[in-house]
Structure formats: structure tokens, C-alpha cells
């Protein structure tokens, strides 16, 4: 590791950069079946979303920050729908690579037969004792074709300037070439002084081979400043086992998670922040919700108020919104206690609305922070 990794206390200034946040990852068109299982669904709502790109959307729409995404789409009606939704969230799409359908032999070209396609998924919320379920179609997605050399990192990080760069465990493991591109990206970001973060976000449907996943993630970890991962992610994606008690409450979970995080911080001294959200599920639509952020330099854990027995309508995107809430607070110069509370609040709010991102404003996040601090209820706004 040759680059000096920037810490969260040394973020580039807004004035020095074109972008506050840039995300590298897959973005999908989501068919949301609501309260009807996909196999029996007739009516569906359409959203865009992706584990990495949701962070950019949250930073832009909710917190008013300047963001962009790096991904690839096929230039057809589905791809343009996704592109337009990203723009609606306020995200700059100039760095989205569009594969034409001219089939002319160019590097970013395909046919109109679906040889390459845009990633899609069908998501059922679940209810009560029936778990949520997602069916993915991504094997021939354009984003899987991206490889080293496709992105001009010098133009992005060196000339335009990026304060925070993020990617994650979904994109990193999605194809034989994506891990190499992700490594190239975090190395370039770190060398140009951007703060680099990644959410491990391990998905067995993306990479069932945990040995391969750990090998790849361990090559990226030395270039990160902020790592997001719960106890299962840390084990599945990096190999750190947490002896979690059966069905633990937040306090019992946190006690064992702390030990794992301290070991991780010792092994990767480049990390200045480690954190995650915590979900204690009573059933598919009733959860407890918490969050923790570890300052490795001060060796201090910052914990958000735990929300208990909160009804939700859509569990997708909670972790992504936690990450964007934390990053937004850092970009705005707030302390780490505020950061973890913004993350927890943004993370619970996204689960109260359909879709992968909240599409609410910062005032709603601040209001939820105050409500949770006071342990109050919810009043009608008239």
C-alpha cells in the first residue's frame, strides 16, 4: 500500500472538489410487488436502486450534496428509465457508461437481442412470519462488463476532485473483472486524497464462494478509511467471526461486535471509522433498529438511540441509507455522535417508504434524530 489513506477528519474542502460524493456500483430496475409474492403478483411499482449507488442518491436528494455514480447501462428504454430516476434524485449521470445497441463492434456496444441487459430484480416485502424475498436477473448485465482502464480516474479524482468515494461488496464481487476495477478505483481515490469507504454488503446470490469473497475484499480493505459491515458481513466477506448469542438484543450484540471491530481495526490501521446499522427483526414488518460507529483513533464507540418495535413497509436500503447519513454528517462537518445518529435516522426512514432510497429531505432526518433522542412518539403535522 503506497497511498496515505485520508482520515475522516481530513476531508477535502467543498471548494476544492466538483463532487462531494461519487459511487461505483451496480444499479438495478426494481419491480416492487408490495404485499403480494412475486409468483402471484399482477401489479408492480418500479424503482431504481443499488447497494452502492443508493449512497449517492441519499447524499444528493436528502442532504443536497453534489454526487455522481459510475456504472454501466444498456441504452434502451429500461436503461433510460434508470438514468432518469437517478437524475430525479439529483445525481450527476455524466459518468454512466451507456452501451449502445448498434452492435457495431465498439467497446461499449451490444445488440438489441438482450445479449447484454440492464440489471433487474423483483422484490416482495414479506409480511409477519413470511420473509422478504428478492429474485435477481443480472447474469448478463452491462455493468458486469466493466474492467480496468474503462474509467479515467485521473480526470475524476485529480482534475474534478471528489471528497468521498464509495463502492461495496456487491459490485466488487459481481463479475470476474469488477474486483480488479474496484481495486483500481480505491487505489486511485486514495492516491488523490479522497476519503474512501465501502460497505461489505455480502450477498451469497452474488458470490457464494466465501473464500473467494474474502480474498478479494482483503485486497481492497487496505485502501479504505471507512468500512461498513455488520457481524455477519465481517465474517462472510473478511473472515472475522463474531460469537453472537442466539437472538441477541442490541446490548448483547454490541458487546461481542465491539471485540470483532477492535481486532479489525488493529489488522487494518488505515481504517479511521468502522460502523454498521443493527436490525433486530420481530417479524418481516416489525423491527428494532440501532447503529454504531467506531472511531479507531480515539478508540471510542458512538451509539445511536435504539428504536424498538418499529413497523416498517420496505426493509430494502436501510444499510445504504445508514452509510449515506454518516457520510453526509461528515461532509457537513458534524461530530461522530451526530454522524451515527444521522445514519440511524436515515436508515430507519428509508424502511418507512417504498423503494431503495428515502426521497425525503434533511429536515426529516434531523426531526427523527430529535424524536429518537427524546424517546417520543409520532405526532400528526397539521
In the DSSP assignment, the letter for residue 100 is: B
For residue 195, CA distances in Å to 36, 40, 224 come to 41, 45, 8
Asked if 4 and 187 touch (Cβ cutoff 8 Å), the reply is no
Rg (CA), the chain: 20
- Note the pLDDT of residue 127: 92
Note the pLDDT tens digit of each residue in 12-68. Answer: 999 999 999 999 999 999 999 989 999 999 999 999 999 999 999 999 999 999 999
Pairing of the two strands 286-295 and 300-303: antiparallel
The span from the CA of 359 to the CA of 179, in Å, is: 30
In the DSSP assignment, the letter for residue 6 is: P
Whether the predicted pLDDT of 204 surpasses 80 = yes
The span from the CA of 51 to the CA of 318, in Å, is: 10
Whether the predicted pLDDT of 94 surpasses 50 = yes
Note the pLDDT tens digit of each residue in 110-147. Answer: 999 999 999 999 999 999 999 999 999 999 999 999 99
Note the pLDDT tens digit of each residue in 208-225. Answer: 999 999 999 999 999 999
Q: Is 105 helix (H, G, I), strand (E, B) or coil?
A: coil
Note the pLDDT tens digit of each residue in 283-294. Answer: 999 999 999 999
- Note the pLDDT of residue 245: 85
CATH, range 17-371: 3.40.1190.20
Q: Please name every residue paired with 311 in a beta bridge, in sequence order, or none if there are none.
A: 286
| DSSP symbols for 2-55 | -SPPPPGGGPPPGGG-SEEEEEES--EEEEEEETS-GGG----EEEEE-TTHHH
Asked if 198 and 163 touch (Cβ cutoff 8 Å), the reply is no
Q: Is 195 helix (H, G, I), strand (E, B) or coil?
A: strand
| Cβ neighbours for 158, distance < 8 A, ≥ 6 positions apart | 192
C-alpha cell at 328: 453526509
C-alpha cell at 357: 432510497
Top-confidence residue, 64 or 376? 64
Q: Per-residue confidence at 381, pLDDT binned at 50, 70, 90?
A: very low
Three-state SS string over 272-330 comes to CEEEEEEEEEEECCEEEEEEEEEECCCCEEEECCCEEEEECCCCCCHHHHHHHHHHHHH
Residue 90: left if φ>0, alpha if ψ -120 to 50, beta else—which one?
Answer: left
Q: Which of 362, 361, 366, 367 has its CA nearest to residue 379?
A: 367
- Note the pLDDT of residue 372: 96
Which H or E run includes 199? strand 195-199
Q: Is 365 helix (H, G, I), strand (E, B) or coil?
A: helix
- Note the pLDDT of residue 378: 56
Sign of CA dihedral 69, 70, 75, 79: negative
Note the pLDDT tens digit of each residue in 237-269. Answer: 999 999 988 888 999 999 999 999 999 999 999
C-alpha cell at 285: 414488518
Amino acid at each position: 500500500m503506497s497511498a496515505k489513506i485520508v482520515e475522516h477528519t481530513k476531508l477535502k474542502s467543498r471548494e476544492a472538489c466538483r463532487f462531494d460524493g461519487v459511487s461505483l456500483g451496480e444499479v438495478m430496475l426494481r419491480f416492487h410487488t408490495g404485499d403480494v409474492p412475486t409468483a402471484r403478483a399482477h401489479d408492480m411499482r418500479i424503482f431504481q436502486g443499488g447497494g452502492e449507488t443508493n449512497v449517492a442518491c441519499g447524499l444528493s436528494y436528502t442532504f443536497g450534496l453534489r454526487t455522481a455514480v459510475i456504472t454501466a447501462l444498456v441504452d434502451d428504454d429500461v436503461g433510460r428509465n434508470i438514468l432518469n430516476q437517478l437524475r430525479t434524485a439529483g445525481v450527476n449521470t455524466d459518468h454512466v457508461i451507456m452501451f449502445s445497441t448498434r452492435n457495431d463492434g465498439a467497446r461499449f456496444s451490444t445488440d438489441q437481442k438482450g445479449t447484454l441487459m440492464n440489471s433487474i430484480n423483483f422484490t416482495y416485502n414479506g409480511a409477519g412470519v413470511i420473509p422478504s424475498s428478492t429474485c435477481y436477473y443480472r447474469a448478463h448485465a452491462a455493468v458486469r462488463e466493466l474492467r480496468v482502464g474503462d474509467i479515467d480516474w485521473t480526470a475524476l479524482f485529480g482534475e474534478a476532485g471528489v471528497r468521498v468515494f464509495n463502492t461495496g461488496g456487491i459490485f466488487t464481487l459481481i463479475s470476474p473483472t469488477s474486483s480488479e476495477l474496484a481495486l483500481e478505483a480505491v487505489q486511485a481515490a486514495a492516491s488523490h486524497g479522497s476519503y474512501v469507504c465501502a460497505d461489505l454488503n455480502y450477498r451469497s446470490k452474488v458470490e457464494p464462494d466465501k473464500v473467494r469473497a474474502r480474498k478479494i475484499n482483503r485486497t481492497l480493505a487496505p485502501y479504505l478509511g471507512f468500512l461498513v459491515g455488520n457481524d455477519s458481513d465481517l465474517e462472510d466477506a473478511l473472515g472475522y467471526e463474531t460469537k453472537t448469542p442466539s437472538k441477541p438484543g442490541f446490548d448483547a450484540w454490541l458487546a461481542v461486535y465491539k471485540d470483532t471491530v477492535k481486532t479489525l481495526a488493529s489488522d487494518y490501521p488505515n481504517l479511521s471509522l468502522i460502523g454498521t446499522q443493527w436490525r433486530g427483526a420481530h417479524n418481516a414488518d416489525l423491527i428494532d433498529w440501532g447503529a454504531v460507529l467506531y472511531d479507531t483513533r480515539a478508540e471510542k464507540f458512538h451509539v445511536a438511540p435504539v428504536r424498538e418495535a418499529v413497523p416498517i413497509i420496505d426493509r430494502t436500503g436501510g444499510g445504504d441509507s445508514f452509510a449515506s447519513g454518516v457520510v453526509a454528517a461528515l461532509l457537513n462537518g458534524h461530530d461522530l455522535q451526530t454522524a451515527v445518529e444521522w445514519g440511524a435516522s436515515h436508515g430507519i426512514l428509508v424502511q418507512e417508504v417504498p423503494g431503495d432510497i428515502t426521497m425525503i429531505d434533511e429536515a426529516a432526518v434531523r426531526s427523527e434524530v430529535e424524536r429518537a433522542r427524546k424517546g417520543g412518539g409520532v405526532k400528526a403535522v397539521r
